Amino acid sequence: MTTSVATRHLHEPEAVPPSSPLKDYLQLTKPRISILLIFTTVTAMVIAARGQGIPLLTLCATILGGVCASAGASVLNCYIDRDMDASMSRTLNRPIPAGRIKPQNALIFGFALLAWSAFLLYWLVNPLTALLAMVGAIYYVVVYTMLLKRNTVLNILIGGGAGAMPVLVGWAAVTNSISLEAALLFAIIFYWTPPHSWALALLVNADYTRANVPMMPVARGEEATRVQIVLYSVQLLVLTLLPLPFRMLGMFYFLCALLLGAGLMYQALHLLQDGSKIAARQCYKYTTMYLALLFLAMIADGLFFRR
């Protein structure tokens, strides 16, 4: 019996494990982006609370509503960009271009997530927070994805506002208002976006060229892109030091921002001089770590070092 079964299996095609619909739908939401955005949202909440406790319901509802807003916008982005994703090696295996999820199902899923976000934030936090979350989603889906991404080299520069909206959401969740401090946090993420995104664009320049997307390396060349990364890194470094004189955060954060900024400048200048894919990858990875550590320093300063 054992020999017979083994022999039969040798002649049968190997079974291909079925794809997981849950995993495919989760992939559409771009969870790594959502995690980073929610982290910045919570950071803004901690700073806005000024050492006071944040109500648990407000914290949980803001996190869940923020996740739904980010995820819904990402799903709609995947729906709109499905033709472009199919032409790029980096994205051709995403669920929609690979045929694992029907476009209309993704469209419904994306709008459902946004509806849940609006409901949670409006009723459990406050209307301003819900409005800002929806503005951020519209900014990403309509302004960046539909209007800018395929039409202008300014796509990342203008579109960076979408990724900076979560700090306004977090601030409004605690204070039910927007202040100069919240605008400064917005500016930090806004100016972080170009060096981060352009470093990635240098890595996948061939894909963007094939898809006819006018990212900076495609439209202006790789050397010009490396120069712009340096220039925006300088501006970002200056912005990240302002929370101390504005009395938003203290010396612990300031020193962390200074050290992290020095590392950012090293990576940007190294990329300018080297120009290789290896240097671009190092710069891209550092910018990702940079923002996470910078906002972690903000949280630590706000919780443990503020007087």
178, 208, 240: which is the final residue of a domain?
178
Query: How many other CB atoms are there within 10 angstroms of residue 22's CB atom?
Result: 8
Query: Do the domain assignments include residue 136?
Result: yes
Q: Note the pLDDT of residue 9.
A: 34
Q: What are the CA-CA distances from residue 307 to residues 6, 301, 303 (Å)?
A: 72, 10, 10
**Predicted confidence band at 222 (pLDDT cuts at 50, 70, 90)?**
very high
Q: Note the pLDDT of residue 110.
A: 97
Residues 189 and 77 in one domain: no
**Predicted confidence band at 118 (pLDDT cuts at 50, 70, 90)?**
very high
Residues 184 and 292 in one domain: yes
Residues 152 and 110 in one domain: yes
Q: How many CA atoms lie within 13 A of 42 on its CB side?
A: 20
151, 178, 205: which is the final residue of a domain?
178
pLDDT at 4 over 50: no
Q: Provide CB contacts within 8 A for 5, sequence distance 6+.
A: none
Residues 133 and 204 in one domain: no
Identify the residue whose tokens are 């712009």: 228
Average pLDDT, the chain: 91
124, 159, 178: which is the final residue of a domain?
178
Residues 39 and 128 in one domain: yes
Query: Do the domain assignments include residue 297?
Result: yes
Q: Note the pLDDT of residue 209.
A: 84
Residues 45 and 140 in one domain: yes
Query: Do the domain assignments include residue 5?
Result: no
Query: Do the domain assignments include residue 21?
Result: no
Q: Note the pLDDT of residue 282.
A: 96
Residues 45 and 133 in one domain: yes
How many domains does one find in the chain? 2
Query: Do the domain assignments include residue 93?
Result: yes
Residues 155 and 194 in one domain: no
**Predicted confidence band at 306 (pLDDT cuts at 50, 70, 90)?**
low
CATH code at 100?
1.10.357.140
Query: Do the domain assignments include residue 279?
Result: yes
Q: What percentage of the chain has pLDDT greater than the value 70?
A: 93
pLDDT at 2 over 70: no
The predicted-structure confidence for 178-206, as pLDDT tens digits, reads as follows 999 999 999 999 999 999 999 999 998 88
Residues 221 and 287 in one domain: yes
Query: Do the domain assignments include residue 7?
Result: no
Q: Which domain holds residue 250?
A: 179-307
What does the alpha-carbon distance between residue 170 and residue 47 come to, in Å, rounded to a whole number?
9
